[in-house]
Structure 1
Amino acid sequence: MPEAPLNPRPISSLEVLLNDLKVGTLVRTPGDFNAFSFEESYRATGGFPVLSLSFRAATGGLRKDPKPVARALPAFFANLLPEDKLREAMEKHHAGSVRAGNDFDLLVALGSDLPGAVRVVPSEGTVARVDDPSPLKSRARFSLAGVQMKLSVIKNTGKSGGLTLPLGDEQGSYIAKFPLTSFPGVSENEYANLALAEAIGMDVPERELVEQSEFEGIPEEFKTLSDGKVLLVKRFDRGTGGERIHIEDFAQVFGIYPSRKYEGAAYHDIAAALGIAVSSAASIEFVRRLALAAITGNGDIHLKNWSLIYPGAGDKPALAPIYDVLSTIPYIPADAMALSLAGERSFKAMDAQRWKVFANRARLPEAAVLKAVVDTVERVNELWWSLPEREVVPAKVLERIDDHVKLMIPILSTCAD
């Protein structure tokens, strides 16, 4: 007698893990409400290792479980998912089990390879909804936040080399950021800006430029029509042996949804949070990175482009390496800072008075803030003009970056007066 075909029900309960430690449960209730609750054994630890600062009470320990959210995931989990083109590609890739625009469905599909050390797996006794007639087919299950088409990839070390997409439960250790038709030379632009950040002493992940021809077996929905090189960046949330290292971006720290990443907080809020959660030195390093963004014309350092990293036991955060560093001015001449700096976003407004107001709001010593800005400007002016990586940037893009740097040097240098 033939076996009856399986008719699995949609998953309604997910276990949330930090590496292999169960920290809570995410449940989809009737009416499409999503609720997250902490495991009592995890709550008894005081909330260590840390899942997110947004869940921690000012007096220590964990807050109460967040309220259920209608038709959306709680903000921390929503920020784990891809956006825009990458999200569309992932939904198409998992069309048999993911409904368009449904966060819970997408989290189920991608839960094995999320940013940081978070994993989300179906609770015991539940099975995946299978509308796809070929459920055994391995699919890409990684998630990367952001709107640019980027893939988590594996670098093959054998004779043939090449780069491939992790399938099933595999993990990628590199992020491949593909070129954009609307932003010519964007890979080279970011490559040179990362090199500049490293040259002036910032913590920068390994990176290289590669040809699109080096990628093998990329599903059609992830392919880009844009010509040009791909920027390959080593993932700092993965260790040398592939182990997960926990991270969270500042939209997660503040409990803000991705749609509000340009308006949910100001730069002084990040600096103040770093001073409390990490150290005053981390806050000053943040100032240096802000000054770099201002002088190079990076108008896209929103809340999701700053992160905390939790090394070792995961109990204490540090400022994560700098990432998503590029000049947006060549493509958007009227661009400005992504968030407010002391009430202003215009690059031209970033004079000494603005940084003094910022220092006051961030509860940082004014002299230390001004010195960090001046030191960064001096280092950039010393090293940018002879940086070897400039040579890969298209001439028109480089010219616009150079013009902005020349414009900003005297404005930022008022901090030395």
Structure 2
Amino acid sequence: MIMPKISAPNEIQSLDVFLHDLKVGTIVRTPGDFNAFSLETEYRKLGKPPIVSLSFRSANGGLRNDPKPTLHALPAFFANMLPEERLREAMEKHHAGKVRPGNDFDLLAALGGDLPGAVRVLPTDGSATSPPPGAAGAIQARFSLAGVQMKLSVMKNTGKEGGLTLRIGDGQGQYIAKFPSTNHIGLSENEFAMLALSEALGMEVPERELVDKSDFEGIPEEFNTLSTGKVLLVKRFDRGAKGTRIHIEDFAQIFGLPPSRKYDGASYHDIANALNVAVSMEAAIEFVRRLAFTALIGNGDMHLKNWSTIYPGDGLTPALAPVYDVLSSVPYLPKDQMALSLGGEKPFKALTPIVWRKFSNRARLPEKAVLLAVEEVVASVNAHWWKLPERGVVPTSVLQRIDDHVRMMSNVLNPD
């Protein structure tokens, strides 16, 4: 077997972009540290090309011109596939000497074989950025999970031994392992309970469980939070049977905004309107239900990157992706508010029916349908939350603050 040439990520000058096995474009480093992305001519010629990003589509349904080269950063669609903040720092440290701190192209070259969704980004010259698993010099953590929380892609082992193994850049990780926070008590348990509540409300939610860090084999030191709390294991909805990839994109990608704009680049009515146009009215109203749930539990972190579309099957038709990254933030940030503007407001206490009417008008959704969706969520949460078995795993101090917020917001959202 002939081994491919090994190139350090910071030496790669051109990356080919694939959606599944279809080459859709190329990213090239140009002099002066500009990054240029161009769609493949053959992809443009397809009568009904599978969707890479709604941001690449023009108003008439065709494909837009290639974006202008970006200085010191990747085009928004690719920049949003990379980890952020502490998770990015850990990944850069893990690839020290081969990925320059803050360099998007380097990091994408290192992680491009296992990105969220069905996009892969590989060196144009056919080289590899790391030796194969088990070889000398192989880098263990080569997967990209966008966001800031310390998390890695893992696979459950079968057989007598069981346990969980970190995947080594082969795209076969079935689960996301979210490691506990050293700053926020019960974060994993909080999210575990909120995912269970979402499911009780009939929302599409991935499988999940709480596990111990001792169940893992070899957590890289850069990703070990040193917390003694539980690890939240969530099944990846962008991976199907036998590791098949399912394409997804978040709303920062859809709106063509860099990760730095995830809190101020758009409002909730923009997401609702986009879903109404690109997916269906039903998807937009389901988004409203999830939005009311966000306000009711006090989740102040549902920014543009925490809402996504998914492209199952032939990849031609978008759908609203399952619920993810839902937890109550108010136990840790008592003065927290909505991540984006809703009807011109962000404070939870301001989200009265009048504000939801403003939201429905801006989103171009039927006012009655929006208000009914909000009322239904309030009733359903109160019917399930107080007797939900998963309440028992949430630390008492955290649970009390969630309970207080749910009671308060039930009266705000549905005062009658």
Give the TM interval when normalised to the shorter protein: over 0.9
Alignment deviations for residues 147-187 of structure 1 (CA, whole Å, 9 cap, x no partner): 11011111111211111111142521100111112110000
Which residue of 2 is the match for residue 19 of structure 1?
20
Q: Using the alignment, how far apart are the partners of 2:48 and 2:80 within structure 1?
A: 20
Report the alpha carbon displacement of residue 22 of structure 1 after superposing the two structures with TM.
0.1
Quote the Cα distance in structure 1 between the aligned partners of 2:288 and 2:77. 25
The 1-side partners of 2:127 and 2:6 are apart by 13
Q: Is the 8 A contact 2:154 2:173 kept in 1?
A: yes
Tell me the distance in 2 between the aligned counterparts of 1:6 and 1:194.
Answer: 42
* 1:217-228 → structure 2 map (5 Å cutoff): 217-228=218-229
Structure 2 residue matching 1:359: 3-state secondary structure: helix
Counterpart residue number, 2:146: 145
Q: What displacement does 1:6 show?
A: 9.2
User: 2:197 corresponds to which residue?
Assistant: 196
Q: What SS does the aligned partner of 1:241 have? A: helix
Match of 1:105 in 2: 106
Q: Distance in 1 between matches of 2:277 and 2:413?
A: 27
Q: CA deviation at 1:93?
A: 1.0
Equivalent position amino acid for 1:248 in 2: E
Deviation of 1:225 (Å): 1.2
Q: Distance in 2 between matches of 1:200 and 1:385?
A: 13
- CA RMSD after TM alignment: 1.7
What is the alpha-carbon distance in structure 1 between the residues aligned to residue 372 and residue 169 of structure 2?
49
- Cα distance in 1 for partners of 2:242, 2:248 equals 17
Aligned to 1:356: 357
Q: Hey, what's the Cα distance between the residues in 2 that align with 1:277 and 1:145? A: 24
How far apart are the structure 2 equivalents of 1:7 and 1:372?
53
Per the alignment, residue 367 of structure 1 pairs with 368
- Give me the whole-angstrom Cα distance separating, in 1, the residues matched to 2:340 and 2:6: 51
In the alignment, the residues of structure 1 paired with residue 142 and residue 127 of structure 2 have an alpha-carbon distance, to the nearest angstrom, of 19
Aligned mates of 1:253, 1:208 — CA distance in 2: 30
Matches of 1:162 and 1:363, distance apart in 2: 49
- Aligned pairs (5 A) from 1:116-127: 116-124=117-125
* Whole-angstrom distance in 1 between the partners of 2:203 and 2:169: 35
Q: 1:178·1:224 contact (CA, 8 Å) conserved in 2?
A: yes
Partner of 1:187: 188
Deviates more, 1:202-211 or 1:155-164: 155-164
The residue number in structure 1 matching 2:399 is: 398
Work out the CA distance in 2 between the residues paired with 1:139 and 1:177. Answer: 17
SS of corresponding position for 1:35: strand
1:161 aligns with 2:149: no
> Distance between the aligned counterparts of 1:267 and 1:23, measured in 2?
30
Q: Which runs of 4+ in 1 moved over 4 A?
A: 5-9, 125-130
For 1:374-412, what per-residue CA distance to the aligned partner results, in whole angstroms no more than 9, with x for missing partners?
000000011100000000000000000000001011111
Equivalent position of 1:309 in the other structure = 310
The 3 A distance-change label for structure 1 pair 168 and 300 is closer
The answer as to 2:38 corresponding to 1:37 is yes
Cα distance, 1:47 vs. partner?
6.3
Whether the 8 Å CA contact 1:46–1:61 is kept in 2: the answer is no
The residue identity in structure 1 corresponding to 2:414 is S
How far did 1:127 drift?
A: 6.4
| Conservation of the 8 A alpha-carbon contact between 1:191 and 1:207 | yes
CA positional deviation for 1:96: 2.8
Whether contact under 8 Å (1:188, 1:231) holds in the other structure is yes
Q: Aligned letter for 1:101? A: G
2: CA distance between counterparts of 1:7 and 1:379?
Answer: 54
Residue aligned with 1:232, SS: strand
Assess if the C-alpha contact under 8 Å between 1:75 and 1:256 holds in 2: yes
SS at match of 2:227: coil
* Cα distance, 1:198 vs structure 2: 0.2
% of aligned pairs identical?
68
Describe the SS at the equivalent of 2:354: helix
CA contact 1:185–1:228 (8 Å) conserved in 2: yes
In 1, Cα distance between equivalents of 2:52 and 2:154: 25
- Could you say which residue in structure 2 is the equivalent of 1:206? 207
The answer to whether the 8 Å contact 1:155/1:164 transfers is yes
Q: Is the 8 A contact 1:250 1:307 kept in 2?
A: yes
- Residue pair 1:82, 1:143 contacting (<8 A) in 2 also: yes
Residue 378 of structure 1: aligned partner: 379
How far, CA to CA, are the matches of 1:338 and 1:258 in structure 2?
14
Q: How far apart, in 1, do the equivalents of 2:292 and 2:49 lie?
A: 34
Task: Decide whether aligned partners of structure 1 residues 126 and 158 sit closer, same or farther in structure 2, where only a CA change above 3 A counts.
Answer: closer
- 2:259 equivalent to 1:261: no
Q: How far apart, in 2, do the equivalents of 1:60 and 1:272 lie?
A: 17
Q: What are structure 1's unaligned runs of at least 5 residues? A: none
Residues 168 and 150 of structure 1: is their aligned pair in 2 closer, same or farther, counting only changes over 3 Å? closer
Gaps of 5+ in 2: none
